[in-house]
Amino acid sequence: MTVQEIRAFNRFYTNLIGALDYSRHLHAPYTLTESRVLYELAHSPRTDAADLRTELSLDSGYLSRLLAKFEKDGLVERAPSARDTRRRHVTLTARGRETAGLLDERSREAVGSLLSTVPPGDRPRLAAAMREIRGILSAGRGGPPRRADVLLRAPGPGDLGWIVQRNAALYSAEYGWNTDYEGLVARIVADFAEDHDPHLERVWIAELDGRPVGCVMCVRDGAPGAARLRLLLVEPDARGLGIGDRLVGACVGFARGVGYRELVLWTNDVLSAARRLYLRHGFVLLDERPHRSFGADLVGQDWRLDLLGTGE
């Protein structure tokens, strides 16, 4: 393949998706870069400016000016990071979350409109070709996948089914759990699919090289002001990239941002890696009890995070 062919493809594709006139394409006052920064902040709530600069390969001066514009528009708040006071922690305001959500919705509608021109029988071939391009060009950089290669996104068609299938398969392979667990996951996912409030409940899919490699869910709990974290999962071959940390962070940031007072979860003591993540994000163990479920003797645990604290 020649340089000219790659440039010709780039010209074709950027014109096709409206990248050169992104703001008019999505009827929004933000450029492609600005929208991408808002997207990253919406899906990685615990983000320092340095993290954004690294993940998006942006010039520090340009990013600083962009964030200053967002702050003036009431979209973000900046404060010294609790982890390192030399770093600036950036979070979306309620208006920022609403703006990011609107941009994401319009982007999905635009891609859906584009896909509507592709015959259904050709769509798997199109997706495979895109994964092939990404795989070849990523391999050309050398080295293993990086944290920046992982995308957190909303679920698309088939992703909720993937959550059920992968939970059942992984917990059977790693812990010997039977189909009772698959039934539980299926009910949780079906309840979300059939009746959820998109302003107060959300699912995140972690994507790497065009395929889902992780998930988590934030749903309303029975107690007033409480949300529940459910179905955290990371594929074995994608572990070590900080995906679980990002998924839990996204869930915590979302729950705090929409006004929940506490975030609770139920897990089992055999899931040691997940429990370490919960501790890292400030969850406190409230209670644990032995039980027999999913064909195994387990110790169930209830955890809680107070969202009214200052956080990071």
Which residues on adjacent β-strands are paired with residue 233?
215
User: Token match 């770093």: residue?
Assistant: 87
Q: What is the pLDDT of residue 220?
A: 95
* β-bridge pairing 226-234 and 262-268: parallel
**All structural domains of the chain:** 3-117 (1.10.10.10), 149-306 (3.40.630.30)
Q: What is the pLDDT of residue 105?
A: 81
Q: Residues 30, 36, 41, CA angle at the centre, nearest 5°? A: 110
List phi, psi (to 5°) of 79. Answer: -155, 160
Query: Mean pLDDT per segment of 10 residues, for the chain of length 312 residues?
Result: 80 74 62 83 72 78 88 88 72 86 80 84 82 70 62 92 96 95 97 93 91 95 92 92 92 92 96 92 95 96 87 45
Cα(272)–Cα(1) distance, integer angstroms: 48
Q: Could you tell me if 239 and 145 are in contact, meaning their C-beta atoms sit under 8 angstroms apart?
A: no
Which residues on adjacent β-strands are paired with residue 78?
90
pTM of the full structure: 0.63
The tokens describing 4, both together, are: 């000219």
Q: Could you tell me if 41 and 76 are in contact, meaning their C-beta atoms sit under 8 angstroms apart?
A: yes
Q: What burial class does residue 71 get, using C-beta atoms within 10 Å of its C-beta: 0-12 exposed, 13-18 middle, 19+ buried? A: middle
Q: What is the pLDDT of residue 22?
A: 57
